[in-house]
């Protein structure tokens, strides 16, 4: 799950860099680059949830259980609090795909 998360983070970052620095080269125009933004933003929120799930899954590894002792319930409570804070700041008008 961690490897998948890193790959998705890399892809998300690559699209963001292409969209911001090279829109004409990659997307043929600045306007086409701007059209990708809403999908990039939504996928960013999906990646964020994947990252939280990866951290929760990491609490069940042997290394964590023997050395770190990070409790799953603590990660889940923190994840709910973080999701609540981020969810309150989501600007739906910038994501007109819903």
44-84 tens-digit pLDDT: 999 999 999 999 999 999 999 999 999 999 999 999 999 99
Residues in the chain: 98
- Residue 93 — very low, low, confident or very high, per pLDDT cuts 50/70/90? confident
Tell me the whole-structure pTM to 2 decimals.
Answer: 0.90
| pLDDT digits 0-9 by tens, 5-27 | 999 999 999 999 999 999 999 99
Q: Packing angle between helix 2-21 and helix 30-58, nearest 10 degrees?
A: 160
Q: How far apart are CA 93 and CA 5, in angstroms?
A: 27
- Structural domain including 23 reads 2-94
Whole-angstrom distance, CA of residue 96 vs CA of residue 98: 6
Question: What are the Cα distances from residue 22, in Å, to 13, 28, 43?
Answer: 13, 9, 20
Note whether 48 and 64 are within 8 A (CB): no
* pLDDT-derived band at 97, boundaries 50, 70, 90: confident
How many folded domains does the chain comprise?
A: 1
């Amino acid at each position: 799950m961690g490897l998948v998360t890193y790959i998705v983070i890399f892809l998300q970052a690559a699209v963001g860099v292409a969209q911001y620095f090279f829109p004409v080269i990659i997307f043929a125009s600045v306007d086409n680059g701007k059209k990708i933004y809403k999908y990039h933003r939504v996928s960013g929120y999906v990646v964020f949830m994947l990252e939280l799930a990866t951290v929760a899954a990491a609490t069940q590894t042997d290394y964590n259980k023997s050395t770190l002792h990070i409790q799953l319930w603590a990660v889940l409570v923190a994840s709910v609090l973080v999701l609540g804070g981020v969810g309150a700041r989501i600007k739906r008008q910038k994501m007109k795909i819903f």
